[in-house]
Amino acid sequence: MPSTSTMQDVKSLIELLGSASEEEVDAFLKSLSDETLQALPYLFEFWALPHQLEPAGDWSTWVILGGRGAGKTRAGAEWVRSKVEGAGPADAGQHKRVALIGETLDQVREVMVFGDSGIIANSPPDRVPEWHAARRALVWPNGAEAWAMSASSPEHLRGPQFDCVWADELGKWKKARDTWDMMQFALRLGEDPRALVTTTPRNIGILKEILEADDTVATHAPTEANRANLAPSFLKKVYLDYGGSRLGKQELDGKMIEDVEGALWPAHVLDGLQKADVPEMDRIIVAVDPPASGKSTADACGIIVAGVQTHGGGPEHWKAWVLADESVRGASPAAWAKVVADTAKTWQADRVVAEVNQGGDMVEAVLRQQAPMLAYRAVHATRGKTVRAEPVAALYEQGRVCHAKGLRTLEDQMAEMTLTGFAGKGSPDRVDALVWALTDLMIDPAASFTMPRIKRL
């Protein structure tokens, strides 16, 4: 590694490069010594994005909120390096006892320590710390140590003490509050103990409390901010698939997704939905919420496929699955009716349920044109959308509804249904169809269910 004076010279010169021409930059690089050229890749403060640079000021916790691939892990690894390394390989740094806390020990080891953006991969050759597997610790040439700790075992933070903490992906920790509390008691060494949290934002109480604390500073960046270090095909696909969606706002834009006031389906319910391979259903229906017109500017025709497993018992044993969202926008009655008929055939649905407040007999007529033998039931909305949705939302709170994969547009709409109505734009067409589906599968049958009589001996 170069001397301190050499590094200062490089810093001063690099500051001038922003306004230099390509030829001037090339000439400058050729003028540098071999020692200085070797140092350049490790001067992170000059290659870093703004959100990766440590804020100035008197703070205790720095939170980096970012989308996937925004460079959070690299920022964490470089921050730890900046705290434990001194001017020379054997010189003491500002901190010497670090806690590396991840969701699991495997995550700490594979991401924070040995990952491509982790500590070892980004350390200069003369300052690479040594991994002591038995102790689960990194040890630097100057004697500084970093211990791997699991957020799944907060009690393990009792006893050890630290002057520096890097907490990665706190938003995923299952025992986030307990771990954070234990960490606070352990962060008690040195004159200026500090913590860095690197995480994709999630709407959990402890993260919001950390962000609101007076001694917390935060930086933020979306995935796209780090596009120079990401595969173009990755960026194209994730923004095409998730851009603008609720999940995309969290995972790509790095934004905290707050519940709308009075949400019927709060974030913790939607985030906790089981999404796995779909089992065999006892009954499947297709529910339809027809649009008021077939104009391109009209609301979508909500078309939801759902099924139920009764497990051969009473309503308390039933479990529903939302299987598919085939909703279409701007389709003529004949066009959306064909989608409904095709969907019913594909899923071998037992029945099609359609709201007829808008279309009356026309709804059945256009469906019969596509499938004359279709099993069909018309339903009339006699109560408001919220009143109809509340019993269905309760099924979700009870953990009695699962979702297949690929339903994020429906889930985004669900997140905006509140006790006072729909907070989004237009009509909650997909949610309306969902409510009709689960009412037909779960609510109505449960209301009329009678236990079989037990014959007296």
Q: Tell me: the pLDDT tens digits for 193-237? A: 999 999 998 878 899 899 999 999 999 998 988 888 888 888 888
Question: Coil, strand, or helix at residue 138?
Answer: strand
pLDDT number for residue 293: 65
Phi, psi of 261 (to 5 degrees): -60, 130
Neighbours of 231 (CB within 10 A): 10
How far from the centroid of its chain's Cα atoms is residue 138's Cα?
30
Q: Given the DSSP bridges, would you call strands 351-355 and 283-289 parallel, antiparallel or unpaired?
A: parallel
For residues 38-64, give the mean pLDDT: 86
What CA–CA distance (Å, rounded) separates 378 from 151? Answer: 52
Highest mean pLDDT among 30-34, 294-298, 443-447: 443-447
Q: Considering the entire predicted model, what is its pTM? A: 0.62
Q: Could you tell me the end-to-end alpha-carbon distance of the chain, in angstroms, rounded to an integer?
A: 91
Give the three-state DSSP class for 162.
Answer: strand
357 confidence band (pLDDT: 50, 70, 90): confident
- Residue whose structure tokens are 């597997």: 133
CA-to-CA distance for 175 and 180, rounded, in angstroms?
9
| 385 or 119, which is more confident | 119
- Is the distance from CB of 152 to CB of 104 less than 8 angstroms? yes
CA 205/CA 299 separation, integer angstroms? 35
Read off the pLDDT band of 307 (50, 70, 90).
Answer: very high
Q: What is the pLDDT of residues 249-268, one digit of tens each?
A: 788 888 877 777 788 998 88
Q: Which residues, listed in sequence order, are joined to residue 130 by a DSSP beta bridge?
A: 139
CA separation for the pair 276, 274 (Å, rounded): 6
pLDDT of 2 strictly over 50: no
315 against 448, higher pLDDT? 315
Q: How many other C-beta atoms lie within 10 A of the C-beta of residue 436? A: 26
Distance between CA atoms of 436 and 172, rounded to whole angstroms? 34
Confidence of residue 1 (pLDDT cuts 50, 70, 90): very low
| Per-residue model confidence (pLDDT) at position 294 | 56
The backbone torsions φ and ψ at residue 111, rounded to the nearest 5 degrees and listed phi first, read -105, -55
Q: How far apart are alpha carbons 108 and 137 in whole angstroms?
A: 11
pLDDT at residue number 243: 76
Single-letter amino acid code for the residue at 354: A
Per mean pLDDT, which of 46-60, 202-216, 290-304, 332-346 is the most reliable? 332-346
**From start to end of 103-193, where are the E strands?**
130-132, 137-139, 145-150, 164-168
